Amino acid sequence: MIVNLYGTSAISEEGHLSVGGVDTVKLSQKYGTALYVYDVAMIREKARAFRNAFEQEKVNYQVAYASKAFSCMAMIQLAEEEGLSLDVVSGGELYTALKAGFPVERIHFHGNNKSEAEIRMALDAKIGCFVVDNFYELTLLEQLAEEKNVVANVLLRITPGIEAHTHDYILTGQEDSKFGFDLQSGQVEQAIVQATSMKAIHLLGLHCHIGSQIFETNGFVMAIEKIYRYLARWFELYGYEPEVLNLGGGFGIRYTEEDHPLPVGDYIAAMVNAVRAQLGNEMKIPEIWIEPGRSLVGEAGLTLYTVGSHKKVPELRHYLAVDGGMTDNLRPALYQAKYEATIANRMNEPKEQVYSVAGKCCESGDMLIWDCKLQSAIAGDTMAVFSTGAYGYSMANNYNRLPRPAVVFVENGEAQLVVKRESFEDLIRHDLPLKQAIISK
């Protein structure tokens, strides 16, 4: 009997966790652990849900995948297959997108400190749009675009004074953030006036991103209302109205059973309705763009580990260590992020033990999950940690000189390796030996 669990995950006849029709225990044997596994059907489903929601609202739109959540060539190609646009924030993310053959006109370039070289690279590639973060960048972009005799499409990133995180909204006047032009103090108005007078700049509109892991629509609605209070004035004063309004990402996902994300259509309907409600008689509805990262790939990814050592602290805690940790999933150490797990080769056994899942790095803070209910586990078992698809691989690092894991895509009973595991050789690839002359001194 195959029992369906979540997305396309299921319990196989041998009592193993399977994803996309592939046995995860076999995956761990074939590709080794730690291993990132992505359920491709689930990524497609999420992408289509966002796009369908916009189609239903009958507005012009772009859904740009925020590739910082997980960037590799195969993922970028999957985003292209699903008709998404792409948000990149560095020369490296842009390079990956270009090498993956992503349509340049659908690439949006973010970042609060784009270098001259990065801007030149993006201008040469003829990307669709720059999300300009500050006055320094606006002037630099104009100069470089002029030099190349091209016109750069621009969104101005604004900080609307509304920060949303999960269920909390923080209303701030001038937002104390390294990102964007401040709305309250007149910076946005000044930037609009400046950008519209620049020959090498075409001002497409405005952008804001209010936070992450958001479970309600109010924050987006509040931001839209606030932005339109200003837009109404600028329309009167300058006849200015944006062609595009980009409302960022941040749509919440389920990491643990405490998380209750909304269907994506709810966010989109609330956003479009809020914009429509603000337009008045004369302003036209802009094209609405969003840039989800986590909500496209987070729940579709899981990480497989092999269980190793146990340590019991009598009457206090039972530590269970795995062959990865903060090197492949920095989020618990960085944000105290919570996860759920299972023992993938013991899916039919009850979860009667409470373990704290430790990584193998030389840091006490290298804990993946505290006090997690799991099946009784022994060394050699395969553990699966769920919802690691966003900001897992992309924040992976080589602390303690651990090689970065491989990434596998699974779909319709087939697995495909999309990122190779790093080798020890890879770890020293850029090292140069100490010069003999220095050693002998």
Three-state DSSP class for residue 312: strand
- Tell me: does residue 85 bind ligand PLP (CB under 6 A): no
Q: Which residues contact 165 (CB under 8 A, 6 or more apart)?
A: 211, 212, 213, 214
- Tell me: does residue 291 bind ligand PLP (CB under 6 A): yes
Options 249, 261, 359, 405; binder of ligand PLP; rule CB under 6 A: 249
Options 20, 111, 250, 403; binder of ligand PLP; rule CB under 6 A: 250
Q: Which residues contact 144 (CB under 8 A, 6 or more apart)?
A: 116, 119, 120, 123
Q: Tell me the site size for ligand PLP, rule CB under 6 A.
A: 16
Question: In whole angstroms, what is the distance from residue 161 CA to residue 153 CA?
Answer: 25
Options 205, 261, 292, 359; binder of ligand PLP; rule CB under 6 A: 292
Distance of closest approach, residue 212 Cβ to ligand PLP, in angstroms: 4
- Report the residue number, 294 or 360, with the smaller CB distance to ligand PLP: 294
Options 261, 286, 293, 405; binder of ligand PLP; rule CB under 6 A: 293
Options 111, 248, 261, 301; binder of ligand PLP; rule CB under 6 A: 248
Instruction: Choose the catalytic residue: 72, 208, 361, 362.
Output: 362
Diameter over CA atoms, the chain: 81
Question: In whole angstroms, what is the distance from residue 253 CA to residue 355 CA?
Answer: 24
- Tell me: does residue 180 bind ligand PLP (CB under 6 A): no
Distance of closest approach, residue 253 Cβ to ligand PLP, in angstroms: 8
- Tell me: does residue 46 bind ligand PLP (CB under 6 A): no
Helices marked H in 291-423:
294-297, 331-335
- Report the residue number, 143 or 166, with the smaller CB distance to ligand PLP: 166
- Tell me: does residue 295 bind ligand PLP (CB under 6 A): yes
Distance of closest approach, residue 106 Cβ to ligand PLP, in angstroms: 15
Q: Which residues contact 22 (CB under 8 A, 6 or more apart)?
A: 410, 413, 414, 415
Find the distance separating the first CA and the last CA of the chain, reported in whole Å.
71
- Tell me: does residue 247 bind ligand PLP (CB under 6 A): no
- Report the residue number, 248 or 405, with the smaller CB distance to ligand PLP: 248
One-letter amino acid for residue 263 of the chain: P
Is the distance from CB of 209 to CB of 160 less than 8 angstroms? no
Distance of closest approach, residue 272 Cβ to ligand PLP, in angstroms: 18
Distance of closest approach, residue 184 Cβ to ligand PLP, in angstroms: 19
Options 106, 110, 346, 360; binder of ligand PLP; rule CB under 6 A: 110
- Tell me: does residue 301 bind ligand PLP (CB under 6 A): no
Is the distance from CB of 405 to CB of 34 less than 8 angstroms? yes
Active site residue 362: yes
Q: List, as own/partner pairs, every contact residues 336-339 make where C-beta atoms lie below 8 angstroms and the sequence separation is at least 24, other chains included.
A: 337/255, 338/255, 338/256, 338/258, 338/369, 339/255, 339/256, 339/368, 339/369, 339/385, 339/386, 339/387, 339/388
Residues 207 to 236 in contact with ligand PLP, rule: CB under 6 A: 209, 212
Token pair for residue 423? 């080798």
HSE (side-chain half, CA atoms, 13 Å) at 70: 34
Residues 387 to 426 in contact with ligand PLP, rule: CB under 6 A: 390
- Give the total residue count for the chain: 441
Is the distance from CB of 340 to CB of 372 less than 8 angstroms? yes
Q: For the residues of 417-433, what is the DSSP string, one character each?
A: EEEPPPPHHHHTTT--P
Distance of closest approach, residue 246 Cβ to ligand PLP, in angstroms: 8
> What is the CA 392 to chain-centroid distance, rounded?
9
Q: Contact region for ligand PLP (CB under 6 A) — 236-244, 249-257, 414-422, 423-431?
A: 249-257
Active-site positions read 362
Q: Which residues bind ligand PLP (CB under 6 A)?
A: 66, 69, 87, 110, 209, 212, 248-251, 291-295, 390
